[in-house]
Chains A and B, each alone.
Chain A
Amino acid sequence: MELRGAACGYDGSPPVLSGLELTVERGGFVGLLGPSGAGKTTLLRTLLGAARLFEGEALVEGRSVRERKPRVGYVPQLEAIDWRFPVTVEQVALMGRAAENWAFPWHRKSDKQAAFGMMERLGIAGLAKRHIRELSGGQQQRVFLARALASSPRLLLLDEPVMGVDIKTRDDALHLLHDLNHQGVTIIMTTHEINAVAAHLPRVVCLNESVVADGPPREALTPATLKRTYGADLRVIEHEGMTLVTESPHRFGAAAHSRRNGGGDAGAV
């Protein structure tokens, strides 16, 4: 997929992102980083042909999304799900096949095999008849991943797949994505939790109005790029070959004190 000088956003407001230059080769695995509101979701929507493209071009598998909406696996942010809706795990997974075999009103055997095969692989086959709300956060995430994978996509877009889950669940999810990636699925995922991806992903892209940095974590995540991405002072530590990002140590009291005593932005608060 490729973005060439793309400016994208929504009708009636200025572009959220502009001057985007980004190429992800087949087989890539990329984490989009940025604070809330940076435009991570908007970038995914651009690739789906669901955001307004003001300028430039967005190509998926060589074809412009303006011409034809691409078929990719999409896992929305869990917050966007209607949890009161009466659907079971298997009904959600089967949705991934809703557009296949269009001449048949019901799901054909191949559809069921695809959906159930994925549920089995993701370890949620035993929960097939459960309502989607009766699951843990990690299981819920896997239900929607199963739906995406049931449509056998070559490109998988995930919006905040590791948000709000514990470390073990997050690690499991990222390992799963790694396995999929090794089997040839191109993956682009967003997150605002830096360390979740820094330790696992081969490539990160920092977003804030445009691409701020792009590359392997250890090159892309520097205090300068993080400052431009998050607007905050962050420290980067190399530890046993891993890149770790932490907050700069300061006490609120100390910061307030130094400001009051004629710090750089006195009176700004």
Chain B
Amino acid sequence: MLEPFEYDFFVRGAAAATLAGGLCGLIGVYVVLRRMAYVGHGLSHAIFGGAVVSYALSVNFFLGASAWGFASAMLINLAARKRKIGEDAAIGVVTTASFALGVAIISRFQTFTRSFDAALFGNILAVGGGDVLAIAAVSAAAAVGVFVGYKRILFTTFDPETAGFYGVPTAWVDALFSLTLAAVIVVSLQTLGVTMIAAAIVIPPVTARLLTNDFNRMTLLSTGIGAGCGLGGVYASWHLDIASGPSVVLVSASAFLAALAWSALRDKLAASAWRSRDRT
């Protein structure tokens, strides 16, 4: 059972996936509650373009891709504020163009097709010690940020406009949120893959939401579910010999289905308890 943990690379990969899963689950709470699921999806594709460009220009991957992602997020905000274009359309334009640029560069320089696969679907074999450190650093920063900003972030997420009226610096909250989201996607790219990150961001919070009505509990649950599914996912990927990204997502999807079944059952039980009380 514990056989894969005898390999250093697996331990590194498992640590990366656990942290990345928890991190995506944490930031996902805000993504889902602000109904920005499509932003996570779009941004991961945009960041892929940034990653390839940084690679081609031999700029540090983390810095280059994060800056690119942050710039894309701000560009999306800007385009969406011109109310003639909806935010979804703005995201479509910005992120697909960015993704296309990445693919174009890769097809021109055929040398990194192997890491191309890894970037799209996630590959824990490619996770190095530096990657784990980067994920750990972003996780720590995000955890501190969420703690320090708690009351302001909660209000801004619930009702951004009214929060502004109450003196909450919502523009700052939004900018820091975009920056954090970009950083989360960048450090999770290798483990989860561009195409799977959006699901890793969305599934844990939705699962948590089914289980609680309380924001604080939802945040803790979502982080825990994300981390658990990250770990479970790479473990399954070892035994089933599948790519780590899809494996993590499939495990999360199962957790979601279980939560759905549980909440349906709970409602049914509550209803029948109520009915039987009525009868007596």
Residues of A within 8 A of B (CB): 12, 48, 50, 69, 71-72, 74, 76, 80-82, 85-88, 91-92, 94-99, 105-107, 131, 151
- Residue of B whose beta carbon sits closest to that of A70: B165
Check B209 for interface membership: any CB of A closer than 8 A.
yes
Cα-based distance from A81 to B161 in the complex (angstroms):
11
Check B83 for interface membership: any CB of A closer than 8 A.
yes
Residues of B within 8 A of A (CB): 33, 83, 147-152, 154-155, 157-159, 161-168, 209, 212-215, 218
Known: A74-B165, A91-B154, A95-B158. A85 touches B149 (CB 8 A): no
Cβ-defined contact, B161 with A50, below 8 A: yes
Main SS at interface, chain A:
loop
Chain B residues with CB below 8 A from A99, complex form: 152, 166-168
Chain B residues with CB below 8 A from A81, complex form: 159
Cβ-defined contact, B151 with A50, below 8 A: no
B10 to chain A, nearest CB (A): 36
Cβ-defined contact, A105 with B150, below 8 A: yes
B170 to chain A, nearest CB (A): 10
- Residue of A whose beta carbon sits closest to that of B169: A99
Cβ-defined contact, B151 with A86, below 8 A: no
- Residue of A whose beta carbon sits closest to that of B158: A85
Cβ-defined contact, A82 with B158, below 8 A: yes
Cβ-defined contact, A105 with B165, below 8 A: no
14 additional contacts (CB under 8 A) given A48-B165, A94-B151, A105-B149: A50-B161, A74-B162, A76-B162, A82-B158, A86-B213, A87-B154, A88-B215, A92-B158, A95-B151, A98-B154, A98-B167, A99-B167, A105-B151, A106-B150
A-B contact pairs, 9 of them (CB 8 A): A76-B162, A82-B158, A85-B215, A86-B213, A87-B215, A98-B155, A98-B167, A105-B149, A106-B150
User: 8 smallest A-B Cβ distances: which pairs?
Assistant: A99-B167, A131-B213, A98-B155, A98-B151, A95-B155, A105-B148, A74-B165, A86-B215
Partner of A86, one of B155, B159, B164, B209: B209
Cβ-defined contact, B212 with A97, below 8 A: no
- Residue of A whose beta carbon sits closest to that of B82: A12
B100 to chain A, nearest CB (A): 31
B141 to chain A, nearest CB (A): 15
Cα-based distance from A81 to B83 in the complex (angstroms):
21
Partner of B215, one of A12, A80, A91, A105: A91
Cα-based distance from A184 to B162 in the complex (angstroms):
23
Cβ-defined contact, B209 with A97, below 8 A: no
Cβ-defined contact, B163 with A98, below 8 A: yes
Chain B residues with CB below 8 A from A85, complex form: 33, 157-158, 215
Partner of B152, one of A88, A96, A98: A98
Partner of A87, one of B147, B148, B158: B158
Cβ-defined contact, B151 with A74, below 8 A: no
Cβ-defined contact, A71 with B161, below 8 A: no
Chain A residues with CB below 8 A from B166, complex form: 71, 74, 95-96, 98-99, 151
A102 to chain B, nearest CB (A): 8
Cα-based distance from A92 to B152 in the complex (angstroms):
12
Cβ-defined contact, B159 with A76, below 8 A: yes
Cα-based distance from A266 to B214 in the complex (angstroms):
59
Chain A residues with CB below 8 A from B83, complex form: 12
Cα-based distance from A145 to B107 in the complex (angstroms):
59
Partner of B154, one of A48, A69, A74, A95: A95
Cβ-defined contact, A86 with B154, below 8 A: no
Cα-based distance from A88 to B166 in the complex (angstroms):
19
Known: A82-B158, A98-B155, A105-B147. A50 touches B165 (CB 8 A): yes
Chain A residues with CB below 8 A from B161, complex form: 50, 76
Chain A residues with CB below 8 A from B159, complex form: 76, 80-82
Chain B residues with CB below 8 A from A96, complex form: 166
